[in-house]
């Protein structure tokens, strides 16, 4: 196999999606608590109030990780659990939880990898504008300072922000995620503040964590034009600027892509775009979350980018309606290496939702998810053979969980969760992954 010896195999989760205990031990409200309790926002009116109850079951969950032979675990910290209200006073019970989780992981020989922001912004900060308020750069720095001082003796791997595209645009411009705003200018402003917050956070991680390994996680998609026509090629280029380059260029080059600056034009009037040079701080890795590719055609009547996504009719799709396209994972990993030369690339999320049968004889049969993981891990291997410096892979997700606007309807876990009893059951994909890790690490 092409995977280097020190390659890390892991699984990922996020606080709001698994922890539950949303009103316990002093945790403050977050934008997803508010959003999910607003009628009509989340499928079946599901909320993360209980989720998988990981807050109380983390010992069992770490034991499951150990059974699988995971080498690393990517979790996120709930900002409102540790700073419940506005800025200022931290919550000792919340901090204790992350201490206990980290200690449990270390005891099991699993490398903790902490994400600071996976979308559960304290509602108290949203009340002051959230990511639209420039002061968030300082708020995020204070929160980073608190967590890195607290955990930095034991946690070396840090991710600042998960998927700024989704957090900024889906939350502030499309309204489909918390806080549910629909203003394209807001999406741009929120993303700008995220770049500045990322830079401030990286500085504090370096200051407080000896031998830190730190970076940001972006959701990136390979983009293909629907036809070889010049119009579709240009449309695909605009879409690439929208989802990929708007995020990559700031963190690697300290600038926004010039074609996008031109396209957004007066929508950027409130932003001093030159400030983004601050964002290009050295990173130890770039995290990428990969699920699918996008096929794009020109659409003269489309909204401001005049693009439209098409679904190739002969492809296979997951339950999310995302096209299966492992080759595009290879393509994007090779392109990142060529265009941006990151020190290392980590796949911080990759996985699939399918309709699973109920557990039978203590296991859940999920052949499609297993095949998805196999083909995508093979695609990573091909990218490594082509020179791309991938050094870690995290399955999304360890557990079935609260899938944002889809609630509990979409299951991404390699471990099944019965949301009535909260019982965990291995899926075949988990057992396949366990055997794969054992084989590839020679254990």
In angstroms, how far is CA 153 from the centroid of its own chain? Answer: 24
Site for ligand FCB in 386-415 (CB under 6 A): 396, 403-404, 412
**163, 297, 368, 403: which is the annotated catalytic residue?**
163
Task: Rule CB under 6 A: say whether 163 interacts with ligand FCB.
Answer: yes
Task: Rule CB under 6 A: say whether 143 interacts with ligand FCB.
Answer: no
In the complex with ligand FCB, which residue's Cβ is closer, 104 or 120?
A: 120
Task: Rule CB under 6 A: say whether 36 interacts with ligand FCB.
Answer: no
H or E element in which residue 76 lies: strand 72-76
Question: How many whole angstroms separate alpha carbon 133 and alpha carbon 200?
Answer: 15
In the complex with ligand FCB, which residue's Cβ is closer, 393 or 412?
A: 412
Task: Rule CB under 6 A: say whether 14 interacts with ligand FCB.
Answer: yes
In the complex with ligand FCB, which residue's Cβ is closer, 232 or 400?
A: 400
Site for ligand FCB in 211-250 (CB under 6 A): 219
Task: Rule CB under 6 A: say whether 349 interacts with ligand FCB.
Answer: yes
Tokens 């093979």 map to which residue? 378
Residue 195 near residue 164, CB atoms below 8 Å: yes
In the complex with ligand FCB, which residue's Cβ is closer, 372 or 404?
A: 404
Strand order in the sheet with 222-225: 222-225, 293-298, 307-310
H or E element in which residue 373 lies: helix 367-385
**19, 29, 297, 349: which is the annotated catalytic residue?**
349
Three-class secondary structure of residue 199 per DSSP: helix
Q: What is the chain's length?
A: 443
Task: Rule CB under 6 A: say whether 289 interacts with ligand FCB.
Answer: yes
Task: Rule CB under 6 A: say whether 162 interacts with ligand FCB.
Answer: yes
Question: How many whole angstroms separate alpha carbon 355 and alpha carbon 320?
Answer: 10
With CB under 6 A as the contact rule, which of the stretches 149-157, 161-169, 225-233, 237-245 interacts with ligand FCB?
161-169
Residue 25 near residue 76, CB atoms below 8 Å: no
In the complex with ligand FCB, which residue's Cβ is closer, 150 or 410?
A: 410
Shortest distance in whole angstroms from residue 67 CB to ligand FCB: 23
The tokens of 220 are what?
């990136």
349 is catalytic: yes
Task: Rule CB under 6 A: say whether 22 interacts with ligand FCB.
Answer: no
With CB under 6 A as the contact rule, which of the stretches 132-140, 158-166, 196-204, 418-426 interacts with ligand FCB?
158-166
Residue 75 near residue 15, CB atoms below 8 Å: yes
Task: Rule CB under 6 A: say whether 166 interacts with ligand FCB.
Answer: yes
Tally Cβ neighbours within 10 Å of residue 274.
10
The tokens of 66 are what?
């150990």
Question: How many whole angstroms separate alpha carbon 4 and alpha carbon 7?
Answer: 5
The closest residue (CB) to ligand FCB is 14
User: What is the helix, strand, coil percentage profile of the chain, to 5?
Assistant: 45, 15, 40
- Which positions are catalytic? 163, 349
Residue ranges in contact with ligand FCB by CB under 6 A: 14, 17, 162-163, 166, 219, 289, 349, 396, 403-404, 412
């Amino acid at each position: 196999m092409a995977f280097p010896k020190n390659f890390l195999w892991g699984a990922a989760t996020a606080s709001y999606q698994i922890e539950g205990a949303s009103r316990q031990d002093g945790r403050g409200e977050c934008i997803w608590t508010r959003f999910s309790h607003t009628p009509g926002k989340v499928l079946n009116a599901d909320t993360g109030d209980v989720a998988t109850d990981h807050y109380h079951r983390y010992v069992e969950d770490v034991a499951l990780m150990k059974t699988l032979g995971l080498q690393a675990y990517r979790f996120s910290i709930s900002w409102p659990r540790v700073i419940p209200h506005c800025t200022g006073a931290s919550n000792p019970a919340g901090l204790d939880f992350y201490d206990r989780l980290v200690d449990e992981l270390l005891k099991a020989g699993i490398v903790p990898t902490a994400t600071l922001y996976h979308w559960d912004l304290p509602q108290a900060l949203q009340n002051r504008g959230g990511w639209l308020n420039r002061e968030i750069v300082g708020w995020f720095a204070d929160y980073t300072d608190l967590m890195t001082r607290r955990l930095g003796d034991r946690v070396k791997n840090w991710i600042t922000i998960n998927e700024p595209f989704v957090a900024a645009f889906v939350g502030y411009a499309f309204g489909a995620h918390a806080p549910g705003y629909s203003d394209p200018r807001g999406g741009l402003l929120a993303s700008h503040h995220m770049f500045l917050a990322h830079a401030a956070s990286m500085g504090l991680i370096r200051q407080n964590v000896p031998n830190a390994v730190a970076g940001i996680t972006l959701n990136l998609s390979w983009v293909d034009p629907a036809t070889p026509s010049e119009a579709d090629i240009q449309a695909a280029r605009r879409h690439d600027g929208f989802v990929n380059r708007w995020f990559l260029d700031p963190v690697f080059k300290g600038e926004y892509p010039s074609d996008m600056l031109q396209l957004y034009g007066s929508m950027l009037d409130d932003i001093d775009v030159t400030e983004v040079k601050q964002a290009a701080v050295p990173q130890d890795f770039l995290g990428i979350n990969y699920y699918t590719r996008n096929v794009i055609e020109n659409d003269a009547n489309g909204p401001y980018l005049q693009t439209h996504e098409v679904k190739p009719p002969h492809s296979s799709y997951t339950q999310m309606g995302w096209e299966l396209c492992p080759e595009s994972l290879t393509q994007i990993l090779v392109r990142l290496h060529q265009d941006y030369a990151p020190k290392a690339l980590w796949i911080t999320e990759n996985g699939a939702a399918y309709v699973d049968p109920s557990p039978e004889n203590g296991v859940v049969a999920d052949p499609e998810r297993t095949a998805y993981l196999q083909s995508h891990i093979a695609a990573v291997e091909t990218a490594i053979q082509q020179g791309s410096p991938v050094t870690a892979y995290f399955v999304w997700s360890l557990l079935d969980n609260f899938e944002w606007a889809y609630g509990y309807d979409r299951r991404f876990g390699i471990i099944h969760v019965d949301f009535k009893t909260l019982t965990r059951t291995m899926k075949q994909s988990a057992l396949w992954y366990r055997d794969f890790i054992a084989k590839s690490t020679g254990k």
